């Protein structure tokens, strides 16, 4: 009951999350799934969460105080003193494992799977922007130039537009627009994802962001996105030729020679006895 997307570009980072956690017939609940950790001038990090809400909330709380022990004489590692985003992702993974140790046995006894996934992205002074996808086991992978975005939750509906549009050189505002179109496609096809949305855009090397907005059904830009995207899709669809079955008469015939075999079929003739 979630859709979140994080995008890493040359120009910065884009984060978008919905807020629906329950979509039953008589109960719809909303909780924020975006958490910002900021120390202006030193570090800026954003975490998006999906999966079991109780697990996600526990991880958030433990992450504030989670400490990874280091060598003798070295200060324990936390998200507030981690020298790199990789180390911050290690702290988050440790927090996930801590919650699993505490709650995993009770959840299994109740027949509930331990399921959570998180996107952690940001920048620490002295290093480049980085983004990680953290799994239920606390392990993680990093976004690359070849894979410049991560999705968690109900990702399949909003993925095509991201695949077609995003590259590392995409401008930030264009990427934000793409993320909102991706979210609109998900909202259109899946009731378990819902408004309001949280959108954050971070510009590289600023170590802070004021471009944060909560989007509800009255937001004029998102209403324009929803209406325009649907209209333009219909226009493009109607502009594509219908299939032609007569072969040579069409510029792009559907019935064209193919080396593949025809479908297997059984044709009966009048009066033929079927055994």
pLDDT digits (tens, 9 = 90+) for 238-263: 999 888 877 666 788 887 777 776 77
**Interval 32-50 mean pLDDT:** 97
**Interval 48-62 mean pLDDT:** 95
Range 242-247 contact pairs with CB under 8 angstroms and sequence separation of 24 or more: none
Express as a percent the part of the chain with pLDDT over 70. 95
Fold of 3-235: 3.60.20
Query: What is the reported pLDDT for 22?
Result: 66
pLDDT value at 26 more than 60: no
Query: What is the reported pLDDT for 31?
Result: 87
Both tokens of residue 269?
A: 């003739």
Query: What is the reported pLDDT for 23?
Result: 52
Query: pLDDT band at 40, cuts 50/70/90?
Result: very high
Average pLDDT of the residues of the chain:
92
Choose among 13, 59, 57: nearest CA to 38: 13
pTM over 0.85: yes
């Amino acid at each position: 009951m979630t859709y979140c997307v994080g995008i890493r570009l040359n120009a910065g980072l884009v984060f978008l999350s919905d807020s629906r956690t329950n979509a039953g017939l008589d109960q719809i609940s909303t909780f924020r799934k975006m958490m910002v950790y900021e120390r202006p001038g030193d570090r800026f990090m954003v975490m998006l969460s999906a999966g079991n809400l109780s697990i996600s909330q526990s991880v958030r709380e433990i992450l504030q105080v989670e400490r990874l022990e280091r060598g003798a004489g070295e200060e324990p590692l936390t998200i507030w003193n981690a020298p790199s985003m990789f180390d911050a992702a290690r702290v988050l993974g440790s927090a996930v494992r801590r919650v699993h140790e505490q709650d995993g046995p009770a959840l299994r006894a109740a027949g509930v799977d331990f399921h959570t996934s998180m996107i952690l992205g940001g920048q620490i002074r002295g290093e480049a922007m980085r983004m990680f996808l953290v799994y239920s086991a606390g392990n993680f992978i990093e976004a690359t130039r070849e894979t410049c975005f991560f999705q968690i939750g109900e990702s399949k509906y909003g993925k095509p537009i991201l695949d077609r549009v995003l590259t590392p050189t995409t401008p930030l505002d264009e990427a934000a627009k793409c993320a909102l179109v991706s979210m609109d496609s998900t909202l259109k096809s899946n009731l378990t994802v819902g408004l309001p949305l949280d959108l954050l855009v971070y510009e590289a090397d600023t170590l802070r962001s004021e471009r944060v907005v909560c989007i509800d059904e009255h937001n004029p830009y998102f209403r324009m996105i929803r209406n325009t995207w649907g209209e333009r899709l219909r226009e493009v669809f109607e502009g594509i030729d219908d299939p032609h079955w007569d072969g040579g008469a069409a510029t792009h015939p559907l019935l064209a020679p193919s080396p593949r075999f025809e479908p297997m079929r059984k044709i009966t003739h009048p009066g033929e006895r079927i055994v």
